[in-house]
Structure 1
Amino acid sequence: MTDRLKSVLTHLNPIASPRDKLLQKNPDDVVITLAIRTPLCKYKTGALKDTTLDGITLRILQAVRAKMNLDPALVDDICLGNVRDGQAAYYCRAAALAAGFPNTTAAHSSSRFCSSGLTATAHIANEVSSGLIDIGVAIGAEMLSEGNDRLARPFVEEILANQEAADCMLTMGQTSENVAKQFNVSREEQDRYAVESYRRAETAKKAGWFNDELVPITVKKDGQDVTITEDEVRYGTTYEKVAKLKPAFAEDGRSTAGNSSQITDGAAAVVLMKRSKALELGQPILGKYVGAAIAGLPPRIMGIGPTLAIPKLLSRYGLDLHKDVDIVEINEAFASMAVYCRDTLQLDWNKMNPRGGAIALGHPFGMTGVRQIVTGLSEAKRTQKKVLVTSMCLGTGMGMAAIFINEQ
Structure 2
Amino acid sequence: MIHSGRRAMTGNGATAVIGKDGLDALIRALAAGGRTVIGPTVRDGAIVLTEIAGGDELPYGWGVELEAGHYRLRRRADGAAFAHSAGPQSWKTYLHPQRERQWTADRGADGALVVTEEDAPVPSYAFLGMRPCDLRAIAVQDRVLAGGPHTDSRYRARRERAFLVAVECTEPGATCFCTSMGAGPAVDGGYDLALTEVVDDGGHRFWARAGSEEGAAVLAQLPRRPADPATESTARQRVAGAADRMGRTMPEVDLQLLMRETLEAERWNDVASRCLTCGNCTMACPTCFCTSAEDVTDLTGDHAERWRRWESCFDLEFSHLPDGPVRATGRSRYRQWATHKLGTWYDQFGSSGCVGCGRCIVWCPVGIDITEEAHALNQERAATGGVGVPPREASS
Q: TM-score, normalised by structure 1?
A: 0.27
- Compare the two structures and name the one with the higher helix fraction: 1
Q: TM-score, normalised by structure 2?
A: 0.27
Greater C-alpha radius of gyration: 2
